[in-house]
């Protein structure tokens, strides 16, 4: 089940944090482990055995890989089994019906779909747990012998459902020993509130415009309204996902963990390559380190390097969803990154304004590919974007959403950072406290009053 609101999180957090802070240091990971399992089971209790089995298999796989370090064939076999086991669940739950549907369409068969519900966060924790076994295999990390510590790494609740993807080597020291100071807690609270506001006040508010377009039907909207809608979705998905990432990073900080940054103002990019260094940074980093580099990266011939890019972007698209539009979305970015690598980057480097316009145009169109899973509807929508269909429907929506568009565009740029840096040191703390308090009150009021609270990335 996907949580319809964040109210459950507000009920869950106080009890968990009280128990965590009250527990002695040697028991804090146990409290986190049990709390995280409860958090996951509340949403997907029937999939609890799957989560537990993945933890157990990879825990013992890590021990075996380290024990038989000198026996390369055996070590490689254990790694292969652990990856197949973990990815196997992801493949069955996420991609089985996609494969069946395509077989039925191509070969005119009647194989019934499995119609399985996708376990929450399976794409994220599968990739996360693979970083452990692969790094142990490559001797970048030592196998974790404490089962509770390992289980805590896998199911740590702040980032369990939608990232960021945290590698074992990023937090293995903090799993063993971490200090929690009042300054860290304060920073964590501020970061959490900033993420909450991004998600609730910005993503939800502007995202309702895209939902309205879907309800109207793409065939019935004018060209200006179609562009207004896809720009709204562009802002929604950014504040939705970056907001959740900030909440996870903030909660991690309050628990004594430092999670990696996941977004760095991607819409100020001047190229698609730069965009993917700023968007979902832990995912792009994962593909670079665990797929692109092992394939040879760019250290091979030009043809092979472009093949490596093709594989990475095909997998990136497929990771996001079991549908052809996601595959096309990944290959769409492969095309532009390839063009930039061949010749376009030199032009972009010389033309600052044009490079920003180019990047935003490509990104916005890309979100159209991403948002619409029905290829027929996708064709209709894109025809509306470029058919110059007239109408005054857009004026009504622009009037209603003008303010949130302005806030969304402003906060998608590093404006808060510049304001914070410009403040005198003595004034910084009171301003931050007041700002956080206002954002928290507005966010809670919105949650209580609104039933529209989707998390776009929960479905991945």
pLDDT tens-digit profile of 344-401?
998 999 999 999 999 999 999 999 999 999 999 999 999 999 988 887 788 999 999 9
CA 159, 160, 162, 163 dihedral sign is: positive
- Taking only the tens place, the pLDDT of each residue in 73-129 is 999 999 999 999 999 999 999 999 999 999 999 999 999 999 888 888 888 889 999
Q: Taking Cα atoms as reference points, which of 246, 254, 251 lies closest to residue 180?
A: 254
Q: Which residues lie closer than 8 Å to 15 by C-beta, 6 or more apart?
A: none
What tokens were used for 458? 């929960």
Omega within 30 of 0 (cis) for the link into 164: yes
> DSSP state, 342?
I
Q: What are phi and psi of 443, to 5 degrees?
A: -65, -45
| Contacts by 413-416, CB closer than 8 A, 24 or more apart | 413/265, 413/267, 413/268, 414/265, 414/268
Give the torsion through C-alpha atoms of 356, 362, 367, 370, to 10 deg: -150
Average pLDDT over residues 245-270: 94
User: Which pLDDT band, with edges at 50, 70 and 90, does 454 fall under?
Assistant: low
Using CB atoms within 10 A of its CB, is residue 451 exposed (0-12), middle (13-18) or buried (19+)? exposed
Report yes or no: 446 and 6 within 8 Å, Cβ to Cβ.
no
Q: How far apart are CA 116 and CA 49, in angstroms?
A: 15
Report yes or no: 308 and 296 within 8 Å, Cβ to Cβ.
yes
What tokens were used for 192? 């959490």
In the chain, domain spans:
7-178, 184-459
Instruction: Name the helix (H) or strand (E) containing 332.
Output: helix 324-339
Residue 48's pLDDT is: 86
Least confident stretch, 13-22, 64-73, 141-150, 321-330: 13-22
Q: Which residues lie closer than 8 Å to 351 by C-beta, 6 or more apart?
A: none
- The percentage of the chain sitting over the pLDDT mark of 70, rounded to a whole number, equals 94
**Between 363 and 426, the higher pLDDT residue:** 363
User: Which pLDDT band, with edges at 50, 70 and 90, does 452 fall under?
Assistant: low
Q: Given the structure tokens 């670079």, which residue do they identify?
A: 288
Average pLDDT over residues 417-441: 81
- Taking only the tens place, the pLDDT of each residue in 170-220 is 999 999 988 888 999 999 999 999 999 999 999 999 999 999 999 999 999
Q: Which residues lie closer than 8 Å to 113 by C-beta, 6 or more apart?
A: 96, 97, 100, 101
Q: How far apart are CA 411 and CA 417, in angstroms?
A: 10
> DSSP state, 47?
G
Residues annotated as catalytic (active site), given as ranges: 320
Rg (CA), the chain: 23
What tokens were used for 97? 């019906």
């Amino acid at each position: 089940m996907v949580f319809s609101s964040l109210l459950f999180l507000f009920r869950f957090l106080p009890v968990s944090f009280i128990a965590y802070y009250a527990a002695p240091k040697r028991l804090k990971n146990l409290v986190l482990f049990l709390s995280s399992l409860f958090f996951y089971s509340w949403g997907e209790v029937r999939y609890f055995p799957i989560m537990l089995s993945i933890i157990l298999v990879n825990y013992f796989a890590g021990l075996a890989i380290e024990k038989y370090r000198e026996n390369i064939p055996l070590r490689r076999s254990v790694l292969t089994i652990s990856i197949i086991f973990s990815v196997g669940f992801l493949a069955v739950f996420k991609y089985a019906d996609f494969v069946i549907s395509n077989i039925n369409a191509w070969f005119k068969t009647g194989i019934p779909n499995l119609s399985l519900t996708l376990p929450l966060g399976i794409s994220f924790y599968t990739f996360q747990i693979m970083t452990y076994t692969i790094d142990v295999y490559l001797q970048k990390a030592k196998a974790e012998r404490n089962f509770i510590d390992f289980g805590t790494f896998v199911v740590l609740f702040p980032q369990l459902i939608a990232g960021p993807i945290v590698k074992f080597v990023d937090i293995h020291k903090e799993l063993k020993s971490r200090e929690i100071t009042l300054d860290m807690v304060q920073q964590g609270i501020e970061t959490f509130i900033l993420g909450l506001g991004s998600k609730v006040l910005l993503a939800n508010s502007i995202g309702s415009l895209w939902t309205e377009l879907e309800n109207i039907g793409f065939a019935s909207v004018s060209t200006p309204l179609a562009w207004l809608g896809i720009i709204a979705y562009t802002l929604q998905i950014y504040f939705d996902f970056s907001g959740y990432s900030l909440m996870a990073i903030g909660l991690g900080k309050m628990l004594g963990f430092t999670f990696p940054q996941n977004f760095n103002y991607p819409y100020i990019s001047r190229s698609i390559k730069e965009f993917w260094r700023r968007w979902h940074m832990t995912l792009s980093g994962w593909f670079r380190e665990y797929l692109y580099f092992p394939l040879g990266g760019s250290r091979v011939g030009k043809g092979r390097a472009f093949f490596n890019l093709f594989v990475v972007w095909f997998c990136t698209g497929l990771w996001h969803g079991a549908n052809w539009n996601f595959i096309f979305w990944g290959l769409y970015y492969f095309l532009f990154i390839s063009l930039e690598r061949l010749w376009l980057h030199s032009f972009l480097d010389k033309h600052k304004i044009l490079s920003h316009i180019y990047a935003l145009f490509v990104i916005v169109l890309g979100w159209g590919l991403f948002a619409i899973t029905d290829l027929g509807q996708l064709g209709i929508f894109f025809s509306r974007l470029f058919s110059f269909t007239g109408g005054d429907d857009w004026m009504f929506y622009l009037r209603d959403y003008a303010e949130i568009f302005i806030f969304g565009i402003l906060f998608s740029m590093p404006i808060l950072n510049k304001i914070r840096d410009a403040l005198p040191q003595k004034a910084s703390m009171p301003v931050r406290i007041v700002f956080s308090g206002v954002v928290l009150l507005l966010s809670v009021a919105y949650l209580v009053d609104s039933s529209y609270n989707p998390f776009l990335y929960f479905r991945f």
